[in-house]
Structure 1
Amino acid sequence: MRLDKFLAESAIGRRKIVRTYIKKGLVKVNGNVITEPAVDINEHSDIIEYLNEKVIHKGKVYYMFNKPAGCITATKDNVHKTVFDYFDKNMSGVFHVGRLDKDTEGLLLFTNDGEFEHKVMYPEKHVDKTYFFWALGCLSEENKRQLEEGVYIGQGKILTKPAKIDIYKSGVYKEFKDEIPIDDLENKDCQPVISGYLTISEGQKHQVKRMLKAVGCYVIYLKRISIGDLMLDESLEKGNYRNLTEAEIKKIFK
């Protein structure tokens, strides 16, 4: 196993970070300082030290987390609660795979496997992410066609990749106010509302909200329900997490 991979899987830090540690001479293998990240080591018999402390190999970890609204996707923050505040174990070296907005709920993955993160998040890998939404407004057949073929979002004229839209319910707010999981909106009883599922294969900032805004809808509730064929475990309460099984990891990549 490569030395940098060993350290990344041992909660020392992301692979890019541990390469820096190695080059600075902070890592020893069997008592000898090693400055080459690509050096092969035996993870079972070699003694690896970082800052003169023996490193225990943890292996790769993969977690499913049901993110609640109100926390930010970050390691730490001086003002807001972060997703890491919900974990009751040492998460050193573990990072979130992509991110969800502060007010967005649902499926968020964590790992210490950089290759896994790359395969999940990069657009050329075409891993679908599906979101359930409630929005103020309505969608015509033309609007739906635009979303599915790609819409321009932002001042930079960014055209989104083809998406899939499925409408769940539409009408006026007062018809669905008991179903929409947010605080009551004042003076919105006669406001048109729509809910549905939007599936995208990329992850631009605020993308779902920006796509729907581009066709005249304002998102008031958003929840990611799946990545690839991996569905959020609805028995997992908001703010809770669990390990992914091997079968679930395979579902992500179909």
Structure 2
Amino acid sequence: MKMKMRLDRFLANLGIGSRREVVSLIKKGKVTINGQKVTATDFKVDPEKDLIQVEGVYVQVKPQGFYYKFYKPKGCITSKADKDLTVMEFLPKDLPGLNRIFPVGRLDKDTEGLLIFTDDGLLAHRILHPKWKLSKTYQVLIDKEITEESLKKIEEGVNLSDGKTLPCKVFCLDKTRKFLQIEVIEGRYHLIKRMFGRLGYKVVGLKRTAIGPIELGDLKPSEIVPLSFEEIQSLKKALGLLTG
């Protein structure tokens, strides 16, 4: 019979963070057990039975192994349950692992592009955690021609209400200087819209084309396909999850 473990030890052993980082997450109320917030670091958990979430993402000891990439169309919510149209409603009813997978992170209702679906809680947590600095690439359409000065400011960091953004890569995709590609390593709320807005531009179109080494490729809106073995390996390598 498997013994229960202290919550802080379990999360540290799982690789969520160092013991100190894990303790901080628990004390800040970022961890829930079976839907209930837990702030006691010595709380005992049963890894085989308890449903454990860290910052809203399920974590588990042994991932079941479902990994998909999905082209989220505009007009739907990135959620498993909502009164509005959700991404789940576009998934085939016979999709393997449908009752276990969840979307990793969010895209706004009016944003389209790449989403990863999985039941691997640790991988999902690392995709979202800033510690791993996994890049996200977007195509951006703005309302007017961008200047060289603005491009330089975006690359060096833009001062927002919640702090200066980290340096990123950005360049024009056509001669109009309104269609751009940007690569960021942050996941702040409405980050790209706020960056351009701060410099006087309005984002009128936004599509995510890559998450780390995983690319949207030639997927069509609402299409979902399993990640290849090579894609899974490259993603896990980028997130420090390959062993041996």
- Same fold? TM cut 0.5: yes
Determine which of 77, 85, 94 is the counterpart of 2:82.
77
**Number of paired residues?**
190
In the TM superposition, 1:133-144 aligns within 5 A as 133-144=140-151
Q: Give the partner amino acid of 1:141.
A: E
How far off is 1:112 after superposition?
1.2
**Conservation of the 8 A alpha-carbon contact between 1:65 and 1:241:** yes
Change in CA separation of 1:2 and 1:110 when aligned onto 2, cut-off 3 Å: farther
**Conservation of the 8 A alpha-carbon contact between 2:170 and 2:180:** yes
Displacement over 6 Å in runs of 4+: 1-5
Determine which of 175, 182, 198 is the counterpart of 1:198.
182
Q: Give the partner amino acid of 2:142.
A: A
Identity of aligned residues (%): 32
Cα distance between partner residues in 2 of 1:142 and 1:158: 20
How far off is 1:38 after superposition?
3.7
Q: Which residue of 2 aligns with 1:241?
A: 224
Determine which of 161, 168, 174 is the counterpart of 1:163.
168
Q: Which residue of 2 aligns with 1:124?
A: 131
Cα distance between partner residues in 2 of 1:2 and 1:196: 53
Gaps of 5+ in 2: 11-30, 36-43, 52-61, 239-244
Which range is displaced more, 121-130 or 84-93? Answer: 84-93
Q: What SS does the corresponding residue of 2:193 show, helix, strand or coil?
A: helix
RMSD over aligned Cα atoms: 2.8
Cα distance between partner residues in 2 of 1:233 and 1:223: 12
Q: Which residue of 2 aligns with 1:68?
A: 73
Determine which of 148, 158, 170 is the counterpart of 1:151.
158
Change in CA separation of 1:36 and 1:207 when aligned onto 2, cut-off 3 Å: closer
**Conservation of the 8 A alpha-carbon contact between 1:137 and 1:217:** yes
Q: Which residue of 1 aligns with 2:234?
A: 251
Cα distance between partner residues in 2 of 1:111 and 1:2: 28
Q: What SS does the corresponding residue of 2:89 show, helix, strand or coil?
A: helix
Cα distance between partner residues in 1 of 2:3 and 2:146: 52
**Larger-gyration structure (1/2):** 1
Indicate whether 1:37 and 2:46 are aligned. yes
How far off is 1:251 after superposition?
3.0
How far off is 1:170 after superposition?
4.2
- TM (normalized to structure 2)? 0.69
Cα distance between partner residues in 1 of 2:47 and 2:205: 46
In the TM superposition, 1:171-250 aligns within 5 A as 171=176, 194-234=178-218, 236-250=219-233
Offset from partner CA, 1:124-174 (integer Å, 9 cap, x none) = 201100000111022222211110111022xx3421111110111243xxx
Q: Which residue of 2 aligns with 1:20?
A: 34
Cα distance between partner residues in 2 of 1:126 and 1:58: 22
Q: Give the partner amino acid of 2:231.
A: E
Change in CA separation of 1:3 and 1:129 when aligned onto 2, cut-off 3 Å: farther
Offset from partner CA, 1:207-250 (integer Å, 9 cap, x none) = 1111111222111111000111221131x221110111221123
Cα distance between partner residues in 2 of 1:3 and 1:196: 51
Q: What SS does the corresponding residue of 2:34 show, helix, strand or coil?
A: helix
Determine which of 101, 107, 112 is the counterpart of 2:114.
107
Change in CA separation of 1:220 and 1:2 when aligned onto 2, cut-off 3 Å: farther
Determine which of 94, 97, 106 is the counterpart of 2:104.
97
Change in CA separation of 1:152 and 1:246 when aligned onto 2, cut-off 3 Å: same
